[in-house]
Amino acid sequence: MKKLSIAFITYTIILGIAIGAIAALFLALIQISIDFIWTEFPDQIHAPIYYPLIIGLIGGVAVGAIQTKLGPFPYTMHENMAEMRKTGRIEYKNRLLYTILAAWVILSFGASLGPEAALIGIVGGITTWVIDHMKLTVQRKEEMISLGVGAILSVIFLAPFNGLAENLDEDINRKKMPKWSKLVLSILISVTALATFIYIKGVLPIPKSVFAIRLPDTDWSWLDAALYIPALIVGLLFGMYFLFVQKIITKLLKPISNKWILALIGGASIGVFGMFSHFFLFSGEHQLVELTSNIDDYSVLFLLALGMLKPVLVGLCMQSGWKGGMIFPALFTSCAMGYVATWWLDSPVAFLITIFAAASCTKIVGSPLLTSSILLFIFPLQFFPFILITAFLVSRQWFKKTATTA
């Protein structure tokens, strides 16, 4: 901590405020577009049942134009993180505005993906631009960009420890112990960014998030202990299914090289799925609130179809140029399937749904600490120790890497 100057701490706080404001404004812009395209306009024209297909194809044309004329924007979360780790920065020249445009089109026109990939690219690019104009050492500049990426993860998932978890996961993967100064700064910038985001969000048209999720009960019973391992195994299997679907769709669409055709395939898929249910559209973050609040209104067959088919749409979007994040869709489908997995009981059991979702999401996301920090603010607090245990049991690779650093 002695190595931290007052100036650097001040820069970190200012950067956190800027990140929170940028995220809030971007998400508000997306929400305004979604409300107009999918609610206000169709209500005014009494849109037919095939309206989602029309919108999907229009979006497909727009995505095709972006992919062919501008480039493969937006970059995925993994692409952005890989660039940051390799170069110590996220490039903004001839990229930032294209990333904003592409993300706006993809998210507004109903892609079954989350905003985290776009926001990391946007915030990372803006942060790099700002830091390029600051008098800091190269090491300090790289550190601030890394802190900024961690902060945006905290904002997106409304979880102040996401940045800390991301840094811990990253350092463990590199077989080194994290510096305490870095961890302190991670918490500082994440809390600052999150506080700014929540404040600005209060005056902007951003609806309730997934973190208002409703579970049927939080009571303990003997079934909790007896069914813990089965719930973990079934959740792990669903996570494997989610990833398997992504691989299959990648192979199926790989022979198609024409970006226009791919983009239209993605748009048509969004339209067809959207005609069946609006739950297939978008990331699932806000729909999960609606789903869990009225879970008794949906049949087990509907929830099963939702859980099994939404990963298909996620894959079709990702491989057709409609790129985005998979964390929210993974969470949405995992919770839906968690209800299905406990349907045979007298009532859905909150503990078992939590374990199912923790195992599934950890398998899909691949980062036990990051996944646990997200789920900490979604499920009842008393379940968090079991979430953490489940995440580490599923992520056996993490144990291997930890053992090599001991």
**pLDDT tens digits, 352-364:** 899 999 999 999 9
Alpha-carbon span 386 to 228, nearest angstrom: 9
| Mean pLDDT, range 196-205, rounded to an integer | 82
**% the chain with pLDDT above 90:** 42
Q: Give the angle 88-91-97 at the CA atoms, nearest 5°.
A: 150
The pLDDT, as a whole number, for residue 76 is: 86
| Mean pLDDT, range 374-386, rounded to an integer | 84
Residue 149: inside a domain, yes or no? yes
Residue 1: inside a domain, yes or no? no
The pLDDT, as a whole number, for residue 215 is: 59
- The better pLDDT of the pair 180, 300 is held by 300
Based on the domain organization, do 182 and 250 belong to the same domain? no
Based on the domain organization, do 98 and 236 belong to the same domain? no
Q: Assess whether pLDDT exceeds 60 at residue 257.
A: yes
CA distances from 43 to 35, 272, 278, 287 (A): 11, 19, 15, 19
The pLDDT, as a whole number, for residue 235 is: 95
Q: Assess whether pLDDT exceeds 70 at residue 145.
A: yes
Highest averaged pLDDT of the listed ranges 90-99, 172-181, 273-282, 360-369: 273-282
| Mean pLDDT, range 105-132, rounded to an integer | 88
Based on the domain organization, do 171 and 224 belong to the same domain? no
| Mean pLDDT, range 113-118, rounded to an integer | 88
| Mean pLDDT, range 251-266, rounded to an integer | 96
- The better pLDDT of the pair 381, 96 is held by 96
Tell me how crowded residue 149 is: count the other CB atoms within 10 A of its CB. Answer: 25
3-state secondary structure of 341: helix
Tell me how crowded residue 202 is: count the other CB atoms within 10 A of its CB. Answer: 9
Lowest mean pLDDT among 53-67, 224-238, 287-301, 330-344: 287-301
The pLDDT, as a whole number, for residue 194 is: 86
Alpha-carbon span 311 to 376, nearest angstrom: 24
The pLDDT, as a whole number, for residue 402 is: 42
pLDDT, mean over the chain: 84
Q: Assess whether pLDDT exceeds 80 at residue 61.
A: yes
Q: Assess whether pLDDT exceeds 80 at residue 210.
A: no
Residue 374 sits in a domain whose CATH number is 1.10.3080.10
Residue 214 belongs to domain spanning: 210-405
Asked if residue 350 lies in contact with residue 215, where contact means CB atoms within 8 angstroms, the answer is: yes
| Domain C-terminal end among 201, 227, 246 | 201
- The better pLDDT of the pair 188, 2 is held by 188
The pLDDT, as a whole number, for residue 137 is: 67
| Mean pLDDT, range 382-402, rounded to an integer | 76
Question: Would you call 104 exposed, middle or buried from its count of C-beta atoms within 10 A (0-12, 13-18, 19+)?
Answer: middle
The pLDDT, as a whole number, for residue 399 is: 44
Question: Would you call 118 exposed, middle or buried from its count of C-beta atoms within 10 A (0-12, 13-18, 19+)?
Answer: buried
- Tell me the residue type at 392: F
The pLDDT, as a whole number, for residue 189 is: 86
Greatest pairwise CA separation for the chain in angstroms: 65
- Give 38-93 as a DSSP string: IIIHHHHHT--TTHHHHHHHHHHHHHHHHHHHT-SPSPPHHHHHHHHHHHSS---T
Alpha-carbon span 207 to 286, nearest angstrom: 7
Asked if residue 96 lies in contact with residue 120, where contact means CB atoms within 8 angstroms, the answer is: no
Based on the domain organization, do 283 and 301 belong to the same domain? yes
The pLDDT, as a whole number, for residue 376 is: 82
| Domain C-terminal end among 201, 225, 257 | 201
Based on the domain organization, do 138 and 25 belong to the same domain? yes
The pLDDT, as a whole number, for residue 400 is: 47
The pLDDT, as a whole number, for residue 359 is: 95
Q: Show the tokens assigned to 44.
A: 């005014």
Alpha-carbon span 99 to 223, nearest angstrom: 48
Alpha-carbon span 355 to 337, nearest angstrom: 12
Alpha-carbon span 16 to 167, nearest angstrom: 16
The pLDDT, as a whole number, for residue 305 is: 95
The pLDDT, as a whole number, for residue 205 is: 64
Based on the domain organization, do 312 and 214 belong to the same domain? yes
Alpha-carbon span 246 to 253, nearest angstrom: 11
Based on the domain organization, do 187 and 315 belong to the same domain? no
Q: Assess whether pLDDT exceeds 80 at residue 349.
A: no
Q: Give the angle 183-184-185 at the CA atoms, nearest 5°.
A: 90
Model-level pTM? 0.87
The pLDDT, as a whole number, for residue 236 is: 95
Q: Assess whether pLDDT exceeds 80 at residue 169.
A: no
| Orientation angle between helical segments 77-87 and 116-132, nearest 10 degrees | 30
Tell me the pLDDT band of 170, cut-offs 50, 70 and 90: low
3-state secondary structure of 227: coil
Alpha-carbon span 158 to 195, nearest angstrom: 10
The pLDDT, as a whole number, for residue 101 is: 94
| Domain C-terminal end among 156, 179, 201 | 201
Based on the domain organization, do 193 and 214 belong to the same domain? no
